[in-house]
Amino acid sequence: MRRRLLWILLLLLLGVTVGLIALHGGYDGGSGASFRLPDVSSAMLDVGIIVFVTGMLLTAFRWRLSEVLEAAMLWVVVVAFILVGYTYRTEVREVGERVLAQLMPGYAASRGRVVELSRGRGGEFPITTQVNGARVAMILDTGASAVMLTYDAAKAAGLPLEVLNYSVNLETANGRTRAAPVTIDRLVIGNIVERSVPALVVPSNRLKTNLLGMTFLNRLESWQVKGDRLQLRAYP
């Protein structure tokens, strides 16, 4: 059995040797038709390394070739997976974000200047945003003329609540109220970043949720709803 394995090993090493010599340009196709010594030396060095590593593996596994091959194949698969993942990392990231957007309504899947979101169970489009660095959950509302924030959201975003002037008449689901105009320094959805966005702050208990209205949507190159997907596209 060991002699058979030895012959297999020798044949493998012979094949590797020939392959390495060819890979290194070891054969000169000119009139001399001879091997170049520097290439042969380099190839033999590679073969020596392979022999050493193979010998160590065989010793470690006590000539149990099947286990050696299983371990080698496992590492080949792992390395191949890593190489493929790194090569197609952009595509993998995009697919992963789309899956997250489908599983987690409100999650913004970004692809360059485009952000996509999934419709929620209630039929609306929940959107996770950052307002002045604070995480704020909103709902898309194309009927709202402006981005509308609850008092708590405005407080979390660090807006100057003590100097707000509630001078804008507003009709909400809870009836009529008055809202205070403010300017959001930075509003972020996925890869889309808009600055100096006009918004309205509604007093406590007068608005159930924050609304992403037209003062943000009008700044985009385009926005559209396709089935259960909302697509936002920023200007370049």
Q: How far apart are CA 199 and CA 17, in angstroms?
A: 72
Buried-state track 221-230, b at ≥16 Cβ within 10 A, e below 16: eebeeeeebb
pTM above 0.75, yes or no: no
Q: How far apart are CA 149 and CA 164, in angstroms?
A: 13
pLDDT of residue 220: 97
Given a cut of 70, the residues of the chain with pLDDT beneath it are 1-72, 76, 80, 84-104
Q: How far apart are CA 181 and CA 166, in angstroms?
A: 7
pLDDT of residue 205: 85
Maximum C-alpha span of the chain = 97
Q: How far apart are CA 124 and CA 132, in angstroms?
A: 24
